[in-house]
Amino acid sequence: MPHLEISDLITVTDPLSGARMPVRRGDVVRRLDEAGDPRAARIVAGLPAGPDDVLDPLAVDRLMIGVHTELQRLSEELRIGERLVHVLDPLFEAIREIAGRRGRFRLVDIGSGLGYLVRWLASTGALGPNVELIGVDLDAALVAEADRLARAEGLDCRFVHGNAFDLPEIATVYVSTGVLHHFRGPALAEFFEAQADSQALAFCHFDIAATRLAPVGAWMFHRARMRHPLGRHDGVVSARRAHSDETLLRAATVPGIRPLLYEPKGLSNPFCTTLRPVLGIRPYLEDPLRQALGRSSRRLVGAEHLTRGGPPRHDAASWSASGAASGAGR
């Protein structure tokens, strides 16, 4: 049975126009029942809807903002910002080494939600003054709330409602947190291809590490810190949907990009791991990035590390074909 997140089903936006689409409560309940998740179906059945059974958009917006606010508190407790900067700071150091230190660079956060990462970076100045910070999300309510918070906090950053790949400005680095597991099948590779085809120099996407303990850890943290049943449910499902190291590297292996994982499963402590990134960099950035990382560069590995002992048997054929194709394209 597929693992479905409630938040993916109750908020639907047209990716081209950005317009919000009506969602019928009964349709969502039926999909969750068919997926074998009666608990999730009961949560949705309790959400307010109009006489036409369309979910109340204002109630859904309030719910999503509340859940994301709780997620931000959890991120603060887990010091997610510091963990991200541990990789992002050396990455921008490598970019400055290549492009020149006087350049103006731009970080674009895809699926920024309430903008925790962008606002944290703006408040700490962790990446330096010459990095413009932009958060982009398809959810208009979350973008409006992120913008309101940033203005109230007097931060130098901004938020855009729309598609991150349709911005008029060129991104230097694309980032995201907790977004990758939402892409299934070919959509995951297409996500990376869109960035490889852009003028961005790198991407750095953080998501839940697919360890055996991840669902257990997610259940503990969300049970303790999240109040609404939707937040608790989706937090555990996110961990169950996390992609394996092999899947991420295979999907990120696209022409013009050197795919790398930081702290893959074999090099990390499963008791401590929450988010860890898959990176894609232009090949000429690899040496400067490793120099900027210093001793921590040992944690940065490519596909050759995972294939040293042989990929999982069920993945061997597709891995080999993917690697050959990407090598020919570079």
Q: What is the DSSP string of 67-93?
A: HHHHHHHHHHHTTHHHHHHHHHHHHHH
| Sign of torsion over alpha carbons 37, 39, 42, 48 | negative
Q: Is 255 left (phi over 0), alpha (psi -120 to 50) or beta?
A: beta
20 beta partners: 13
Are 5 and 17 within 8 A, CB to CB? no
DSSP 195: H
Are 130 and 105 within 8 A, CB to CB? yes
Residue spans of the chain under pLDDT 70: 1, 101-102, 264-273, 306-330
Measure the CA–CA gap between 89 and 135, rounded to whole angstroms: 18
Are 304 and 246 within 8 A, CB to CB? no
Q: Across 164-263, where does the E strand assignment appear?
A: 173-177, 202-208, 258-262
The bridge status of strand 105-110 relative to strand 173-177 is parallel
Query: Cα–chain-centroid distance for residue 181?
Result: 8
**What is the per-residue pLDDT for 322?**
36
Give the pTM. 0.86
Q: Is 17 exposed, middle or buried (0-12, 13-18, 19+ CB in 10 A)?
A: exposed
What b/e sequence results for 108-139 when a residue is b if at least 16 CB atoms lie within 10 Å of its CB, and e otherwise?
A: bbbbbbbbbbbbbbbeeebbeeebbbbbbbbb
**What DSSP element (H or E) covers 237?**
helix 229-240
136 beta partners: 110, 160
Give the angle subtended at the CA of 44 by the CAs of 42 and 47, to the nearest 5°: 115
Residue 321 to residues 29, 145, 316, 325: CA-CA distances in angstroms? 40, 45, 9, 6
Residue 182 to residues 36, 150, 237: CA-CA distances in angstroms? 19, 26, 11
